[in-house]
């Protein structure tokens, strides 16, 4: 059976090799930084990410969190999906088994899922499927970037902090806010949170 698929694209549902994924993201970050004419110092300032961490990422090392990748993508003026290089989808439909994973096992010991729901890399909206287990907490590295965000909770109870103010959301609850407001998230459990988040990515 294996020979029947020779020369074809790998199954989109096959999990990517973590080391290859990290190397691929590093290649994208370095290429985009040079395309924008930015030094490591300038990108570090724009993204609020340390020079050392950016250098590690560009060399395909380290274990960057999804938060870090969001900060870098906006500093580089691209959707976060652009950092995870892959074939551009032409169909408006994204099948459940074809979602692009947007995490490099960078969320500590927690099994957090981030998957791209929107098909392309150049649209005006970027939608992400999130599954955050009990204990999920990004308070140590708040997000701050241009744009606007909308989130809706499908399962569990999720705390969304906007500039330090806690908004606790349950199934069916939604929230909208400017991404320039420092924001972070927490799941105090006991149930895994499932949510859809939509954001306006930077213009290419």
58, 153: one domain: no
- How far apart are the C-alpha atoms of 146 and 143, rounded to whole Å? 10
89 part of a folded domain? no
Task: Give percent of the chain with pLDDT exceeding 70.
Answer: 81
For position 110, what pLDDT does the model report? 64
CA 117 to chain centre: 11
For position 107, what pLDDT does the model report? 44
List the structure tokens of 74. Answer: 């906006």
Q: At which of 83, 108, 132 does a domain end? A: 83
66 part of a folded domain? yes
Residues of the chain with pLDDT under 70: 1-18, 85-89, 103-110, 120-123, 202-204
77, 111: one domain: no
25, 60: one domain: yes
101, 78: one domain: no
Strand ranges of the sheet holding 193-199, from the earlier edge strand across to the other edge: 100-101, 113-116, 126-132, 193-199, 148-155, 174-178
Q: What is the CATH number of the domain that holds 50?
A: 1.10.260.40
Q: Write out the DSSP string of 145-175.
A: -SSEEEEEEEES-EEEEETTEEEEE-TT-EE
75 CB-near residues (< 8 Å, 6+ apart):
43, 46, 47, 49, 145
Q: Are 184 and 143 in contact (CB under 8 A)?
A: yes
129 part of a folded domain? yes
62, 145: one domain: no
67, 107: one domain: no
112, 53: one domain: no
97 CB-near residues (< 8 Å, 6+ apart):
12, 13
Q: pLDDT per residue over 9-26, tens digit each?
A: 444 444 456 677 888 899
For position 50, what pLDDT does the model report? 93
Q: Are 100 and 118 in contact (CB under 8 A)?
A: no
104, 136: one domain: yes
110, 190: one domain: yes
CB atoms within 10 A of CB 176: 10
List the structure tokens of 69. Answer: 């990748």
Range of the domain at 186: 96-199
24, 74: one domain: yes
110, 45: one domain: no
68, 121: one domain: no
Its pTM stands at 0.76
CA dihedral 63, 64, 65, 66 (to 10 degrees): -130
- Split into its structural domains, the chain has a count of 2
For position 122, what pLDDT does the model report? 62
Q: At which of 83, 111, 134 does a domain end? A: 83
């Amino acid at each position: 059976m294996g020979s029947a698929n020779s020369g074809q694209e790998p199954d989109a549902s096959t999990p990517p090799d973590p080391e290859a994924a990290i190397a691929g993201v590093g290649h994208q970050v370095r290429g985009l930084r040079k395309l924008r004419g930015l030094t490591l110092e300038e990108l570090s300032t724009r993204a609020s990410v340390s020079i050392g961490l950016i250098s590690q990422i560009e060399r395909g090392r380290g274990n960057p969190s999804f938060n870090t990748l969001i900060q870098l993508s906006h500093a580089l003026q691209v959707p976060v999906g652009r950092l995870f290089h892959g074939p551009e989808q032409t169909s408006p439909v994204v099948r459940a088994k074809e979602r692009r994973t947007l995490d490099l096992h960078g969320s500590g010991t927690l099994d957090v899922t981030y998957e791209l729901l929107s098909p392309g890399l150049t649209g005006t909206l970027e939608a992400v499927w999130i599954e955050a287990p009990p204990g999920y907490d990004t308070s140590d590295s708040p997000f701050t970037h241009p744009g606007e965000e909308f989130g809706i909770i499908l399962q569990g109870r999720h705390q969304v902090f906007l500039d330090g103010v806690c908004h606790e959301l349950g199934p069916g609850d939604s929230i909208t806010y400017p991404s320039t407001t420092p924001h972070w998230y927490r799941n105090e459990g006991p149930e895994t949170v499932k949510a859809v988040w939509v954001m306006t990515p930077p213009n290419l």
